[in-house]
Chains A and B, each alone.
Chain A
């Protein structure tokens, strides 16, 4: 049984539940007094401002902020107490877009997307559109949370869903510290069940990838080396196999920002991000080929901008008025959190970019 660690910032009425407060922090202090360059100034050095949206490749839909976990560093501030859930009506609007988009990847995320009561209906309908890569971001423990979810591995298999799951470490201690007591054991069991139906096997078309994000105020190590270590440890200890590991940098927003400030790591972390800035990563940041749709149908350049309530800079603001041609070429909305996607080898929902 997994044990929930805490409540969302929203539930706690924390200052940082407000996106404008987060944006204020990210613009003040070391960025205001010139100690560190703003992201805009930094990308201007290499004439990469303004960042422009290219042809859409990835449509990422956040079907709700409700989750069975309350992970320490969640950028969504998700949890059982979050009630923002995508309605079937909005899903229907999304389906219209999914049928007509030129994007090759559909990426469902949350919260725990499986907790949306219309999740299965939506997956069944969306799968019919025949998009090349259909991702569901599953936190793994949901598969073991309640018997109504036990058949999810079979359900995913039936619709050829590409499962992408978070796994902060191959040890119990580090995983549970970040994600809650019991999360490691439940995740291991879920991975074994996914393996049992064919997910993650070396020659299997049933894709199972893991997402690693650091458990504290430090950047992820080399993705390839981490993947090697994860594969060895999970195989040796539990006989688990998976395809790829995506190393993702924690962006300084929401609960991770709260953690950085409370642990007095904020300035050091921002220094790390700025020092690791890689102009080559800027060319491939995910916001340039991704569109993020919120539970209530609004459009954002990425899931992080969604959480900061920074909508797309376009006449088209909502899924109901979707127009891919109008959205292409829009200026991407940026702030200092964007340094998280350009540090080192870069970071995106699909791992490194440079």
Chain B
């Protein structure tokens, strides 16, 4: 049994999820592939969105994958860091905006 929850080599095995549920696995990868195709957004823009979400989701596999994907597309480290800040801003904003709920509750309970 491995001693850590994450192994970088497992990323290469992602495709194997189809082995235990072929239909759903294939549908997922087909959908995934389609999402990242050039569309109204460029593949480059999608890659940066994926990188930001990879961080907010704190998925180490996705962080590895979309850092490399960005480099392959010529994305600079400054662009990558800005994208992550967008994710971080939304994440912290999402926390803080709940402060309004807290304020509402305080106002209701304690005038």
Chains A and B belong together in one complex: yes
How near does chain A come to B38, taking the closest CB pair, in angstroms?
8
Give a binary string over A205-234; 1 marks a CB under 8 Å from any B CB, 0 the rest: 000000010111011111001100110000
Q: Are B74 and A218 in contact (CB under 8 A)?
A: no
Count contacts on B: residues with CB < 8 A to the other chain: 10
Candidates B12, B43, B68; contact of A222 at CB < 8 Å? B43
Q: Given A174-B76, A275-B12 in contact, is the A225-B43 Cβ separation under 8 Å?
A: yes
Candidates A170, A173, A221; contact of B73 at CB < 8 Å? A221
Candidates B42, B72, B74; contact of A169 at CB < 8 Å? B74
The residue of chain A having its C-beta at the shortest distance from the C-beta of B47 within the complex is A221
Q: Are A271 and B76 in contact (CB under 8 A)?
A: no
Which residues of the other chain, A, contact B89 by a CB distance below 8 angstroms?
none
Q: Are A214 and B71 in contact (CB under 8 A)?
A: yes
Which residues of the other chain, A, contact B68 by a CB distance below 8 angstroms?
218
8 A Cβ contacts from B68-85 to A? 68, 71-74, 76
- Cα of A225 to Cα of B70 in the assembled complex, Å: 13
Candidates A170, A173, A218; contact of B72 at CB < 8 Å? A218
B55: interface (CB < 8 Å): no
A171: interface (CB < 8 Å): yes
The residue of chain B having its C-beta at the shortest distance from the C-beta of A344 within the complex is B72
Q: Are B74 and A221 in contact (CB under 8 A)?
A: yes
Count contacts on A: residues with CB < 8 A to the other chain: 20
- Cα of A169 to Cα of B12 in the assembled complex, Å: 28
Which residues of the other chain, B, contact A170 by a CB distance below 8 angstroms?
74
- Cα of A174 to Cα of B74 in the assembled complex, Å: 10
- Cα of A271 to Cα of B10 in the assembled complex, Å: 13
Which residues of the other chain, B, contact A215 by a CB distance below 8 angstroms?
71
Which residues of the other chain, B, contact A221 by a CB distance below 8 angstroms?
72-74
- Cα of A220 to Cα of B68 in the assembled complex, Å: 10
The residue of chain A having its C-beta at the shortest distance from the C-beta of B76 within the complex is A171
- Cα of A212 to Cα of B74 in the assembled complex, Å: 10
Q: Are A271 and B12 in contact (CB under 8 A)?
A: yes
Which residues of the other chain, B, contact A174 by a CB distance below 8 angstroms?
76
The residue of chain B having its C-beta at the shortest distance from the C-beta of A272 within the complex is B68
Q: Are B76 and A225 in contact (CB under 8 A)?
A: no
Which residues of the other chain, B, contact A173 by a CB distance below 8 angstroms?
76
Knowing that A218-B68, A271-B12 are A-B contacts, what are 15 other residue pairs whose CB atoms are under 8 Å apart, sorted by A's residue number? A169-B74, A170-B74, A174-B76, A214-B71, A214-B72, A215-B71, A218-B71, A218-B72, A221-B72, A221-B73, A221-B74, A225-B44, A225-B73, A229-B74, A230-B74
CB pairs A–B below 8 angstroms (9 shown): A169-B76, A170-B74, A214-B71, A221-B72, A221-B73, A222-B43, A222-B73, A230-B74, A275-B12
